[in-house]
Amino acid sequence: MSDIKAVIRHLPKCELHIHIEGSLEPELMFALARRNGITLPYDSVDALRRAYQFSQLQDFLDIYYQGMSVLITEQDFFDLAWAYLQRAQADNVKHVEMFFDPQGHTSRGVAFETVVAGLYRACRQAKESFGIDATMIMCFLRHLDEADAERTLDQALAHRDKIVGVGLDSSERGHPPSKFKNVFRRAGEAGFHLFAHAGEEGPADYVWEAIDVLGVERVDHGVRSLEDPVLVRRLARDRIPLTVCPLSNLKLGVVSKLADHPLQRMLDSDLVVTVNSDDPAYFGGYVGENYTAIQSALNLSEAEVRAVARNGFNAALMDDDERAKALAVFDTPPKKA
Ligand code: ADE
Ligand code: ZN
């Protein structure tokens, strides 16, 4: 193993952009389908994996919503999140902020409480077993209307102790952040942290709306921000983090090859760039693999890789003491073998 791969393996990491339903590996999908008496439209794990060919976000979303149909019981949601958290532990992830899509489940008749209970139990177990801080962020599906998001927020109010924030995901084009202005205002007033996907497939204007209309504290993806130099200066000045997901960008055709990925230019523009996995079961890699792939494609230096991992802790929802403790590890030179 080259030195830089070992550095990446051992770096403490945050994962701030993971859709827990996007960590549903085909093997678990088939096992849950069997357990719940559901027939999938694929004969085998291999046939399902072969279907993971996407040329744009919507191609992926169609398969992603179909995949989550096997999640029915509290135990299913626990098993999903627990499988991910075990994998995160292997990547030396210390802190996770996990997105979930309640409307993808309530629309199928699964109770909001069932989803939250299963995911939350896995988060608590990750703290006990691995010392990983795992928290939950509920996303609104932007292809649905704001009234649906409002009803989902109403359901979340009883779970303020378990859900730390709200986000915005799903089909970006044609669904600007401003469509959700009222529900985000109400979520902020209720004490939720605010996040939104913007500038993945959508234009830089959507990033402006996410920060100025919705008032988000982090932007998910945001890679198209580079098309607007005034926006780049604003994101850099206000230290607004971007949760970048290189393998996702490659698999969804946001970039045609990783060597063209804008992450180096983002770092050079003084943006608070973090590296994350998005939907690792569909895009071919968990967070460690995202670090390794982008480092190798852009020939990032060790200092740049370490800066990206530090950015994760600066961008995370942590109190000042926790953050200081986590960042102190980066200032301690690694022990010589
Ligand atoms: N939901 C799951 N993954 C997503 C992505 N990459 N963009 C938008 N919505 C998503
Ligand atoms: Zn995402």
In a domain, 66, yes or no: no
Reported as a single tens digit per residue, the pLDDT across 45-71 is 999 999 999 999 999 999 999 999 999
Evaluate if residue 335 carries a pLDDT over 80: no
Mean pLDDT rounded to a whole number for the chain: 97
In a domain, 85, yes or no: yes
The pLDDT of residue 1: 57
User: For a substitution probing ligand 1, which of 61, 142, 219, 254 has the most ligand atoms within 8 Å of its CB?
Assistant: 61
Active-site residue, from 21, 25, 200, 201: 200
In a domain, 215, yes or no: yes
Q: Is 221 in the pocket of ligand 1 (CB under 6 A)?
A: no
Treating both helix axes as pointing N-terminal to C-terminal, what angle do 287-298 and 302-315 enclose, rounded to 10 degrees? 140
Which ligand does the CA of 173 lie closest to?
Answer: 1
> What's the whole-model pTM score?
0.97
Tokens of residue 4, six digits: 């830089």
The pLDDT of residue 336: 56
For ligand 1, the distance from its centroid to the CA atom of residue 170, given in whole angstroms, is 5
Q: What is the CATH number of the domain that holds 315?
A: 3.20.20.140
In a domain, 46, yes or no: no
The pLDDT of residue 191: 98
- Number of folded domains in the chain? 1
List Cβ<8 Å contacts ≥24 apart for 178-182: 178/209, 178/213, 178/214, 179/142, 179/145, 179/146, 180/140, 180/142, 180/146, 180/149, 180/214, 181/213, 181/214, 182/146, 182/150
Atom of ligand 1 nearest to the CA of 139: 1
For ligand 1, the distance from its centroid to the CA atom of residue 169, given in whole angstroms, is 5
**Whole-number Å distance between alpha carbons of 29 and 68:** 8
Reported as a single tens digit per residue, the pLDDT across 201-241 is 999 999 999 999 999 999 999 999 999 999 999 999 999 99
The residue with tokens 């994101």 is 235
The pLDDT of residue 93: 98
- Structural domain boundaries, residue 124: 4-21+74-327
Q: Is 19 in the pocket of ligand 1 (CB under 6 A)?
A: yes
In a domain, 234, yes or no: yes
Evaluate if residue 337 carries a pLDDT over 80: no
Q: Answer yes or no: are the C-beta atoms of 136 and 167 closer than 8 Å.
A: no
In a domain, 221, yes or no: yes
The pLDDT of residue 2: 74
In a domain, 68, yes or no: no
Reported as a single tens digit per residue, the pLDDT across 146-161 is 999 999 999 999 999 9
In a domain, 318, yes or no: yes
